[in-house]
Structure 1
Amino acid sequence: MESEAAIFAGAVFSLFGGGLLVWTATCVHNHRPVAHGVRPVPSATLAGVVAVLALAIGTWCFGRL
């Protein structure tokens, strides 16, 4: 039972982190804002940090199996 929860949590965190990282990279590459109404550099930095943290948590969840 615990392994099913770890698989689900790992998948959710990994998909969210990967999607956010792709979104951020695409916006930065096309010189578009990551978030509307916010300065580009801090928003891209914060989004990148959150994406990497989500991927790290997803990896940690998969490592708990």
Structure 2
Amino acid sequence: MDSAPTIFAGMAFVLFAGALLVWTAVRVRHREPVAQDVSPVASATLAGLAAVAALVLGVWCLARP
């Protein structure tokens, strides 16, 4: 029973990371700003790093025994 919260947290992180990666990629592809009043390169990079970090955290949660 202890694995249910871990699975929920892992799936939440993975879904958030996937949505953030897709959203960032679409914004960059259409040459639209990822964040308002921030450098486009810096905001896309920071959003990408946050998405990758959330994805790694989600996979780690799901891989725990």
- TM-score, scaled to structure 2: 0.95
Q: What is the aligned residue count?
A: 65
User: Which position in structure 2 is the counterpart of 1:49?
Assistant: 49
Structure 1 spans left out of the alignment, 5+ residues: none
| Percent of paired sites with the same residue | 57
- TM-score, scaled to structure 1: 0.95
Query: What stretches of structure 1 move > 4 A for 4+ residues in a row?
Result: none
Structure 2 spans left out of the alignment, 5+ residues: none
RMSD: 0.7
Cα distance in 2 between the residues matched to 1:49 and 1:2:
30
Cα distance in 1 between the residues matched to 2:2 and 2:40:
41
Report SS of the residue matched to 1:15: helix
Q: Are 2:37 and 1:37 equivalent residues in the alignment?
A: yes
